[in-house]
Structure formats: C-alpha cells, structure tokens
Amino acid sequence: MAKTIKLYQKLAAALAQLDSPVFGVTGDANVYMIDHFIRSHGGRFVAAANENGGVLMALGHASVSGKVGIATVTHGPAVTNTVTALAEGVKAGTPIVLLCGDTTYGDRENLQNVPQREVLISSGAGFEPMNRPETAVQDLARAFRRAQAERRPIAFNFPTEMMHVLVEDDAAQMFAAVPAVAGAAAEADIESAVAIIAAARRPVVLAGRDAIGAEARAALLRLAERIQAPLATTLRGKNLFRGEDYNLGIMGTLSAPKAVDVIVKSDCVLAFGAALNFHTTGHGGYVEGRRVVQQAATGAGIGRGHAPDVALVGDVVATVDRIIHWLDEAEIPASGFRDEIEPRGLTAMPDPQPNPGNTGVDYIEVLNRLDAMLPANRVLVTDAGRHMVKAMQHLQVEHPRLYVQTASFGSIGLGIAQAVGAAAAEPQRPVVCTTGDGGFMLGGLTEFNTAVRHGMDLIVLMFNDSCYGAEYALLRDKQMDTAVSMFDWPDFAPLATALGGRGVVVRSIDDLEAARTAIANRDRPLLIEVKLDPHHVPFW
C-alpha cells in the first residue's frame, strides 16, 4: 500500500523542489505548509509584516533573480490586502505565484469569507484553483508555468479544509519550465526589417528588459557597430551599455539633454525586447515620423505600446545575426550616423544650479555624492514619488538586472518591501532603496523591520520633504494652499534605530560625511534621512 501524507506536507515538498525563498504572512490556511517547508525541507521563509509586503517581496525577488517569485497568505482579508501588490506585478509584467488559502466551502457565516476569485482577478492577476487534493501539485505547477508564460502574478487558490486530507506520497515533480523561444524571426519579416535599416540614415538601437542578457548585449553591440547606430535602453534596461561609446543611456522621458538631441535627429528605431510604452517613446514624440522595427520573444510582446512597422518574433541573438547576415550579403553600407555624434558624454546630466532660496540641501548634488559613496556593486530599488525621476537618472547600477523600479502601478510605498525581496535574491550585494517620506510611512516602515529581522544589507535613502510631493507641487503651481499635502512627521533616524536598524540625518552637505561613515560601518539596515525643502525638489 502506498504511503500517505497530508496535503500540506506534499505542497511543502513541492515548493522545496524550486530552491527559492517563500515570502508572506502565515495564517490558518498556510501555517502548517510553511512550518513543514522550513522544518522538514530546510526551506527559507521570509515573514513579512503584512500581506501586501509579502507579495511585493516576491516581485522584488523575481525581478532580480529572473525566477518566478513565490508568496503565500491565508484567506479573506489577507487576500484583499494583496491587491495593490498584485496590480503592480501585472503592470510590471513580473511573474510570481501567490499561494492563498480559501475559506472552508459552505461556511457562509465565516467572518473572513469573501469571493476571492473575483477579488484576485480584479487586480489583473491570473487565477488557478486547486481542483482536487490528488491533483494539487499538478495544479500548482500549472500556476508556475502560467506565471512564467504570461509574465504576471498567478494566484493558486486552495480550500483551507483540504490541507489535512491524506494523499499519496508519490514525490510528484513540481515544475517544468516553459521552454525559451528558439530561432530567429521569420525570414520574410527579417527581409522587411533589413529594407528599413538599408533606407535609414540615422538609426537608433534600443534594448529593453528582454534583451539584457550577455549574449543579447553582445549581439546588439555588433548590430549597432555594423550600421553605425547609437545605443539606448529603456528604464528596465538601465546601464546595459554603460561605458560603451555612443551610449545614449535611457531613451524617453528620462533621457539626458545630449541624448535627446540625438534621438530627435533619428529616423529609425530598432527595438529589441522593449515594450515601447509612452515613457520610452516620450509620449510618442520619439517614434512619430520614424520607421520602427520591434523584436519580441512572443507575439504578445509586439505592439503593447507603439505599433511597429515591422514585427520580429524570435530569439534576440538569432534574429540580430540574421539581420547582420543579410546586411552583409546585400553589401548595405553603414548609416554613418555615428559620424554626427560625440562618442562620449551623451548621458551626462546638467550640473545643479545654486538656489539661494533653498532651505534644505540641493537634491541633485546629494544624489551625485551618494552615487559616488554607495557601494558600486549595489542593487538599486526606486520607490515611486516626486523624488524618483532624479534618483533613476543619477543613481547607477552595474547591470540592469540589479535595478528594480516599483512604480508600474503609480503607487508610492512599494519600494522597501521589493528591496527586501531583492536582498533575498542577491544576499552578497547591498541593496539601496530610495523612497520619500510619504512612501516610507505608507509602506516602508513595517518592512524596514522585516529587513532587520532577517539580517539584510539594506540602505534606505529617504528623501524627506515633509509632504506628499506630487500633490504639493500641484497645489503650489495652481497658487493654492499646500497645507493639505503637508505632514509633521516624527524624526526618522531615531525611528529606524527603534526598529532595530540605524539612522542618520543629512541636513547639510557637510552631514554627508556622517552618512559616508555610517555606510562604511553598517552592520544592520541603515536609513539615511535627507532633509529637503518641499518648494525646491525638482519633479522632472
């Protein structure tokens, strides 16, 4: 007779096969599974302070590791608490699986009963139910395959009362990865792309999130050299071509002034692994009147933003190699666009201009100095808020995989939790998270303590303008009273210490030396609070 075990034990064993941490909050539906995952399989569970934070941690881990992130919560209010994080994951195209219990079927008087399928789907996440205890592992594996293939969060929903049902201990295999796309795009489409390239006089090669691998980078460098085109990236491809000649940096609303001058002269955009959203296209201005070729691994990646003139569905490297092959076969000359461009300095941002009315430190100067003093091998996470645009522009990373942006849903307060997930993915690297005072109080405060509890190397740069900055700027620019957007916060440095970390306050440029010392000597999560004048914080 086959050996039987309880379903929660079988699911714990299945999760252990993935060799990834699980993030979340335990409750009656999942506590036995997580306990068994830890005690019997040596699994790592990162206990979040709240369910939204747990899902955000899974998103941060997935962004940096390239794996499908894993989170778990119990039922009812635990599920409703995850909606903002799930929507962020959907908008960002980040694959995670959320294992959530569901209230016992038929228990209509249960206080925590809520139509979970409708709640979860409202966020844009996918929904995968556990059909029967006997098929639980196969159902869970399906959720993981869907998350990877659909590039979004998938909720795996299981009835709480089923967790103690006896099932066969058959060591079911959990996860078969979705195979990567193989081969170049269709030859007819490549021929159309080559024709556009041949006619272009000022092409730009653009790399997005799906073209940041080492082989893809090398292929795009070969193509750009062959056609004498400058190189650019989306925000999600940040710093991919750092150090290369003719590097424009980020293309779009974050472009440096000299890069903008080059982009507006261009007549063709060759986009690889990039969604061409309104940020990248400068609200359409950088693609209007230009021929656009867009490559993606699947058809779902074509036309999500701007609709291209030619779509190339296939592997980046194989497709680029075929393009170069036909350019050489047809003896098509290089564009010569690089002859019109300075090879270096195209990503330089303007120096800060002195402002005698500023009662705080100069934000741009502080960012530049922090960029130089923070560890070079850092992971960078940027929370949303008025501070974020300049932080995205002035703080650098060694590779785009080490950058996590958390503003896909336009919500503040999602950064520190994602930074915790990123720290779990890259424990040998320090994680730097930028946030505003409002974002820290909204979502970062409790999860800063999570980083403390789990001994993570986290440096939080908290830019404190004592307000909700976007709303302050809106009211100020309309010459209205800004009081409704203002906050009299407590001192944050002592608060960080009370939470188990350390805190430093920067009120002047001279105070940055104390920050430098704190960074060098850190032995626990560190909060650096930078005091800013709300009237003198640049937005764009």
CATH assignment of the domain containing 333? 3.40.50.1220
Q: Mean per-residue pLDDT for 434-463?
A: 95
Same domain, 16 and 106: yes
Same domain, 429 and 531: yes
347 located within any domain:
no
CATH of the domain at 375: 3.40.50.970
Residue 83 sits in the same domain as residue 50:
yes
Ranges of beta strands (E only) in 135-230 are 154-159, 166-168, 203-207
Residue 323 lies in a domain: yes
Q: Is 348 within a domain?
A: no
143 found inside a domain: yes
What is the model's pLDDT at position 174?
Answer: 77
Q: Range of 156's domain?
A: 4-167
Q: Do β-strands 4-6 and 45-47 pair in parallel, antiparallel, or remain unpaired?
A: unpaired
Please give the average per-residue pLDDT across 42-68, as a whole number. 97
Same structural domain, 387 and 334: no
Confirm whether 369 is domain-assigned: yes
Residues 256 and 111 in one domain: no
Q: In this structure, is residue 182 part of a structural domain?
A: no
Quick one: 332 and 367 in the same domain?
Answer: no
Residues 260-286: pLDDT tens digits?
A: 999 999 999 999 999 999 999 999 999
Sign of CA dihedral 243, 248, 251, 256: positive
Q: For position 472, what pLDDT does the model report?
A: 87
Alpha-carbon radius of gyration of the chain: 25
Q: How many helices (H) and strands (E) does the chain have?
A: 19, 20
Q: Do residue 319 and residue 404 come from a single domain?
A: no
Residues 428 and 519 in one domain: yes
CA distances from 125 to 98, 121, 284, 407, 443 (A): 10, 5, 28, 17, 21
Least confident interval from 257-266, 303-312, 456-465: 303-312
In a domain, 398, yes or no: yes
Query: Of the residues 107, 132, 167, which one is the last residue of a structural domain?
Result: 167
The count of structural domains within the chain is 3
Task: Report residue 328 as tokens.
Answer: 């050489």
Are residues 290 and 388 part of one domain? Answer: no
Compute CA distances 162 → 49, 72, 169, whole Å: 26, 16, 16
* pLDDT score of 412 more than 60: yes
For residue 180, tell me if it sits in a domain: no
Q: Based on the domain organization, do 330 and 299 belong to the same domain?
A: yes
User: Do 210 and 261 reside in the same domain of the chain?
Assistant: yes
Q: In what order do the strands lie in the sheet with 231-233?
A: 247-250, 231-233, 203-207, 268-272, 291-296, 310-313
pLDDT score at 537: 84
> What confidence score (pLDDT) does residue 224 get?
97
Indicate the residue among 113, 138, 167 that finishes a domain.
167
Average pLDDT of the residues of the chain: 93
pTM beyond cutoff 0.85: yes
Q: Mind listing the pLDDT tens digit for each residue in 322-377?
A: 999 999 999 999 999 999 999 999 999 887 777 777 777 899 999 999 999 999 99
The mean pLDDT value for 511-530 works out to 96
Query: Same domain for 160 and 196?
Result: no
